Structure 1
Amino acid sequence: MEQTFHIVNQVFKAPHDPIPVEVYHENALTRKALESFLHTTAGNVLGLAPSYGSKCTLSTLAFSSQSKVLLIRLSTSKEGKARNKSQKQAQRSAGRALLQELLLSQLIYKYALQMDKLAAALYNDMGLRISNGVDLLSISKGQRQSPAALMFVLGGELSLHKATVLKLFEQEEKDSGSIADTASQAWAACQAAFIEPTKLANSAKINTHVVDEAHLAVLSKIIRDADRLIALKPTRQKNEVDKKFTIKQGSLGLMSTRFKTRLMPPHGTQQTVEIQTVGQHGQKRVLAKVTKVNGRAASLSLRGNLHGTLHSVTTVGREPLTRAEITRWEITLQALQRTNSIMKNLFVQRIWLPTDKVSWLNTPSSFIPISLSFPPPRTLNTSQTKAVNAILSNKDANRITLIHGPPGTGKTTVIAAAITSIMASSDKTRTAWVVAQSNVAVKNVAEKLADVSFLDFKLLVSKDFHFDWHEHLYHEIERNLIRSDDFPKSVVAADRLLLGSRVILCTLSMLSHEKLPIFTTLVPAQTIIFDEASQIEIGDYLPPLQRFQPTLRKLVFIGDDKQLAPYGYGDIPELCSIFEMSHLQNGAVFLDTQYRMPEAIGNFISKAVYRGRLKSVHSIKTLASCTFVNVATGREEKSGHSWINTREVAVSIGLARIFHALGKSYRIITPYDAQRSKLENALKAANIPWEDRCFNVDSFQGNEEDYIILSIVRSEKIGFMKDPRRTNVMLTRCKKGMVILTSRKFIEGIASSTLVGNMAKAWGPRGPSWVEVGAIINGAFRPHT
């Protein structure tokens, strides 16, 4: 035993005696210690609480009876590197075997707030399984992870010290809390077992002993990936707002100025807003709570008096789970409880379980063969024709179709051709849904459909994204749009809105909207085409696969695993998109001809990124289509969690003046958000049109412009250029020309082996690749035309 101590009840208002806690390292566990602890159990009940460390792996596990807590510290990777490694491993194996035999496998009921997450971690991190696991939050009303759910399962606010409870569990079971906190959480879980005994007795139990090993491995990884993605969400978000504000009857009115950092609706969260002001007596901090958001306008209730000039507004606390994230958690929980059949879903088996035998006999295609129909004068090249035919195929081998489309190869054209062909077929019951991760990608597909004169589709858009923020993006397709606040309440009303359309476009998150069944009743999800599929983490497909199982007949994934990866990939390299599933990728159709970039840029990208498989067809063939500007005095500077380069900002504005004066269409792209803000503010100050001009690389995939100005920012360390996928996106957006701002010394030195460095080498002495800053500042530079 490492130590003993007592914890004092600070959760329940009812008095309790101090509870003894015994602490062991797993290497030191003995049968005697575990049997001694088991003698204290009553009512066949144990409470469990974990703490998670690096990469959300288990670091501590506490077991509690009503009168005693046994806390076990688990081995870390650092301990695994000890000199007596083999002895440590033997002790660890023996300790885990005792845990499995005497605690986890016993028929005694084990209660934890998030038993699904714990069961997955036991398997992922320790190779252990659990029986009779009870997820306490399953019996709560509303969102499982909400404070209201926690209060409910612990007996309600009237019986609790609310502030203490919230503080105790705000650590989110991370090992940044003390072991006393973990012990208290386990004891509280044990007490909760006796508060709603009937509901808990009737709730489904988690017994991973009886879950197929391959299924358990998949579910455990999906749960771990989701947990790590949630952990990446910031706990502090600086909100960009207008400095002008109003105060009426204690309510503060603010206007957000940027969608990405906007003030968010409350949604019953614990988020608070810190408002910093500057006045004659210095800085002052006032706390507030968002009460209402309508577009850019937000109302907040103040917890104090606001004086002076607004300096900063910061949201504190992690944003709540989205409906799609909640649905994903519910599906994996129910799979572990064996109350759903998601692992028997044929599409799930085909994606995650390639060794399972999949028979499509009970899921007939029900599609008659159809021919390609694409309105003239548009034509498709050979690889595009092959891709469209794969989408139209009713063969079982093509139930899941992957299309690999490098930049500029016409991915949206392929989607448009598939849609026009499906709708031109004699089967007037056939439907298609086109889905993407981002609203902009969905909008791009909608515009392509309109461009080929196909207007019989509907576009579902969230009010939060559209109203007051992005209405200007939808002018060309406004009549096709249905906004979420206009979603009908009845099938009859939906029928009037759809007007017979059998094609619906929306984001992936919209597929989890509570009102979507009204639409799918009329337009069942038969074929779903996922655009930007290389950016979608594979676990995010679970909600639509579960929801549309009765009608789903075909899945199409279009994307490029050489461009942006799923969100979080930089921190969690284990994340997968559909394109990382080798058994599916091997059969992908490759779109082999790009039409966007000047030929010299396209040929370089083909050789450097696509093993020479990508052909270029373009009227501009000269090396002059790409120019490097030597910003020799530019220096990278840290700005919060981001980076800026003020000299590159100044040179970018010089270029913007030139492009603006010449009437050229251009955009400025940078990999760092702080630099994007600097660029946008500098355009405003220079009285140059600034709206929709400056973009972070990550928000510009799928977009293009005649001329692209790239601000690399870095001058000492390669930073983002370690990621060839992001760099590939950055270098492939121009249709006529590209100007790259960076330091020649940096690019030819430490960054020489990056994609940008190799591009500079490829141009080298063969073309006019490098110009000096003076040519920009004095206005002598002219873009290639």
Structure 2
Amino acid sequence: VNNESKSKEEKSTPKDRLSLLESQSKAIVKKQFPFLDFFANAPQPLFTEESLSKDLQTAKNCFKHMTALFDDLEECRPFEVLRGSRDRGDFLSTTHAKIIALTCTHAALKRSDLVNLRFQYDNLIMEESAQILEVETFIPMLLQNQDSELGSRLKRVVLIGDHHQLPPVVKNMAFQQYSHFDQSMFTRFVRLAMPVINLDMQGRARPSLAALYSWRYKNLGNLPIVSNTPIFQKANAGFACEYQLINVEDYEGKGETTPNPYFYQNLGEAEFIVQTYMFMRLVGYPSEKISIITTYNGQKQLLRDIIRRRCENNPLFGEPAKITTVDKYQGQQNDYILLSLVRTKTVGHLRDVRRLVVALSRARLGLYVFCRQRLFENCYELTPSFSRLLTRPTKLHIVPNEMFPSERPVQAPSNAFVIEDV
């Protein structure tokens, strides 16, 4: 046999020998590749044996895939030891997480645990920082131990807030008034004239709605989106105006009532608002696009009771997205806001302009304010906003037979029907 093969090699030409070597070199990748069985279920053969360079590239890609699998296994190995969800969460937070979101309250409660876990971070971003106590702002900066050589790892702190809105809540009046505990660190920095970046363009509300509170902000403008987007150019279905102050007189001979001290309610406003909400639902407004807010807890409870009795079990109406107070709704928004101001004898705590700014700035497309006109129009602190509100009729103007969504331009005249004797 050996003699026969030798004789064949002697008879073969140099060209035949070269082609034999080339064919062997093309097949060498497939012969030497150690993971053929692992990739046996591939939709097509890995190696074509037509080009050595292509087969080598395929082999490299396969090795990359194998390396990624082993990297994933390496990351999962600790979970063989960490059986509890809490331990696994701590491991992920301290080892793999790039961004961690938590509240200031949670940071204060878990500070010792985070320090013991050797939690480390370089940047801190705090949203709604104007509504956070100074000590609550300070604690998140101390969630890690300082390095003995390099000092604190924290390199950047970004505070985002609006000092023209409501401050932190301090229930102890002595601390609030005499110790000024209701001042946030954000507000302190602004008051001390530290350099700040003012965002002077808003993209939340229609320009006409933004004009109700823009006087509190220096050179507040509007982003193009609130002028160019079709949803901001169309009118609110069923309403003649995109915003309106609706004057509510005594209902059954009563205005504001106080069943308990400081528990203010106004049945007339509550009934009017619920009827307006039901009208909006019949017109076709989605319930999740409507929020009802008020300035007092008593009115909030009354509104919830009426909604629960009239709308909760009726599939035509259902409940709105939120029924809450202005203070609790800070930092949130909705397309359509129904606002109850409750008071009919004195202005109350709405005299704080910051609370008024929060109340008027929650709506994107429609705002309807239910109140006692002659009380609030004479309040000096509120004049810039109420003077603009009073440029519109103070009786609710609706547009019959118009369904949601409306194709009527927001400035187009409409055949309005006036709601009277309510």
Give the TM-score, by structure 1 length: 0.34
Give the Cα separation in 2 of the matches to 1:769 and 1:498: 59
Give runs of aligned pairs for residues 341-356 of structure 1, distance below 5 A: none
Change (3 A) 1:604 1:696: closer
What residue identity is the alignment partner of 1:633? D
Contact 1:706-1:737 at 8 Å conserved across structures: yes
Structure 1 residues 481-514: Cα deviation after superposition (integer angstroms, max 9, x where no partner): xxxxx7624xx66335778221100010111234
Give the Cα separation in 1 of the matches to 2:389 and 2:273: 22
Q: Percent identity?
A: 20
Give the Cα separation in 1 of the matches to 2:136 and 2:89: 30
Aligned to 1:598: 206
Tell me which of 375, 382, 388 is aligned to 1:746.
Answer: 375
Give the Cα separation in 2 of the matches to 1:712 and 1:610: 23
Change (3 A) 1:732 1:630: same
1:761 and 2:387 correspond:
yes
Change (3 A) 1:764 1:713: closer
Give the Cα separation in 2 of the matches to 1:674 and 1:597: 29
Aligned to 1:702: 331
Aligned to 1:648: 269
Change (3 A) 1:526 1:487: farther
Give runs of aligned pairs for residues 267-286 of structure 1, distance below 5 A: none
Tell me which of 291, 300, 303 is aligned to 1:667.
Answer: 291
Give runs of aligned pairs for residues 732-743 of structure 1, distance below 5 A: 732-743=361-372
Structure 1 residues 77-135: Cα deviation after superposition (integer angstroms, max 9, x where no partner): xxxxxxxxxxxxxxxxxxxxxxxxxxxxxxxxxxxxxxxxxxxxxxxxxxxxxxxxxxx
Give the Cα separation in 2 of the matches to 1:697 and 1:663: 26
Higher strand share: 1
Give the Cα separation in 2 of the matches to 1:504 and 1:549: 18
Change (3 A) 1:494 1:611: closer
1:488 and 2:117 correspond:
no
Aligned to 2:346: 717
Aligned to 1:682: 306
Change (3 A) 1:748 1:706: same
Give the Cα separation in 2 of the matches to 1:683 and 1:493: 41
Aligned to 2:256: 636
Q: CA deviation at 1:546?
A: 4.0
Q: CA deviation at 1:689?
A: 2.2
Give the Cα separation in 2 of the matches to 1:602 and 1:781: 26
Q: CA deviation at 1:590?
A: 0.6
Give the Cα separation in 1 of the matches to 2:335 and 2:320: 17
**Secondary structure at the residue paired with 2:120?**
coil
Give the Cα separation in 2 of the matches to 1:782 and 1:632: 29
Change (3 A) 1:542 1:548: same
Change (3 A) 1:639 1:758: farther
Change (3 A) 1:541 1:599: closer
Give runs of aligned pairs for residues 357-436 of structure 1, distance below 5 A: none
Give the Cα separation in 2 of the matches to 1:782 and 1:771: 21
Q: CA deviation at 1:615?
A: 3.8
Q: CA deviation at 1:723?
A: 0.9
Aligned to 2:217: 610
Change (3 A) 1:628 1:515: closer
Change (3 A) 1:708 1:549: same
Give the Cα separation in 2 of the matches to 1:557 and 1:589: 10
Aligned to 2:242: 625
Q: CA deviation at 1:515?
A: 7.3
Give runs of aligned pairs for residues 396-545 of structure 1, distance below 5 A: 488-489=86-87, 494-496=90-92, 500-514=96-110, 517=113, 521=117, 523-545=119-141
Q: CA deviation at 1:702?
A: 1.3
Give the Cα separation in 1 of the matches to 2:247 and 2:127: 37
Aligned to 1:319: none
What residue identity is the alignment partner of 1:667? S
Give runs of aligned pairs for residues 296-311 of structure 1, distance below 5 A: none
Q: CA deviation at 1:518?
A: 5.1
Contact 1:658-1:779 at 8 Å conserved across structures: no
1:586 and 2:203 correspond:
no
Aligned to 2:163: 561
Contact 1:495-1:522 at 8 Å conserved across structures: no
Q: CA deviation at 1:583?
A: 6.8
Change (3 A) 1:537 1:587: same
Give the Cα separation in 1 of the matches to 2:89 and 2:367: 49
Change (3 A) 1:781 1:676: farther
What residue identity is the alignment partner of 2:372? S
Structure 1 residues 627-685: Cα deviation after superposition (integer angstroms, max 9, x where no partner): 11111225111242221101001001111101212232210010101110110110010
Structure 1 residues 191-222: Cα deviation after superposition (integer angstroms, max 9, x where no partner): xxxxxxxxxxxxxxxxxxxxxxxxxxxxxxxx
**Secondary structure at the residue paired with 1:555?**
strand
Change (3 A) 1:497 1:546: closer
Contact 1:712-1:740 at 8 Å conserved across structures: yes
What residue identity is the alignment partner of 2:292? I
Change (3 A) 1:692 1:737: closer
Give the Cα separation in 2 of the matches to 1:547 and 1:717: 46
Change (3 A) 1:604 1:691: closer
Change (3 A) 1:616 1:644: farther
**Unaligned residue ranges in structure 1 (runs of 5+):** 1-485
Contact 2:115-2:143 at 8 Å conserved across structures: no
**Secondary structure at the residue paired with 2:357?**
helix
Contact 1:538-1:577 at 8 Å conserved across structures: yes
Pair member with larger Rg: 2
Give the Cα separation in 2 of the matches to 1:771 and 1:781: 19
Contact 2:273-2:338 at 8 Å conserved across structures: yes
Contact 2:119-2:143 at 8 Å conserved across structures: no
Change (3 A) 1:769 1:564: same
Aligned to 1:16: none
Aligned to 1:286: none
Change (3 A) 1:605 1:524: same
Aligned to 1:429: none
What residue identity is the alignment partner of 1:531? E
Change (3 A) 1:514 1:506: closer
Give the Cα separation in 2 of the matches to 1:526 and 1:577: 23
Higher relative contact order, structure no. (Cα contacts within 8 Å, ≥ 6 residues apart): 2
Change (3 A) 1:638 1:493: closer
**Secondary structure at the residue paired with 1:548?**
coil
Aligned to 2:42: none
**Secondary structure at the residue paired with 2:102?**
strand
Give the Cα separation in 2 of the matches to 1:539 and 1:524: 20
Q: CA deviation at 1:701?
A: 1.1
Give the Cα separation in 1 of the matches to 2:192 and 2:85: 36
Give the Cα separation in 1 of the matches to 2:293 and 2:394: 19
**Unaligned residue ranges in structure 2 (runs of 5+):** 1-83, 147-152, 312-316, 411-422
Give the Cα separation in 1 of the matches to 2:172 and 2:361: 21
Tell me which of 166, 184, 201 is aligned to 1:577.
Answer: 184
**Secondary structure at the residue paired with 1:506?**
coil
Change (3 A) 1:639 1:530: farther
> What is the alpha-carbon root mean square deviation over aligned residues?
3.2
Give the Cα separation in 2 of the matches to 1:629 and 1:590: 34
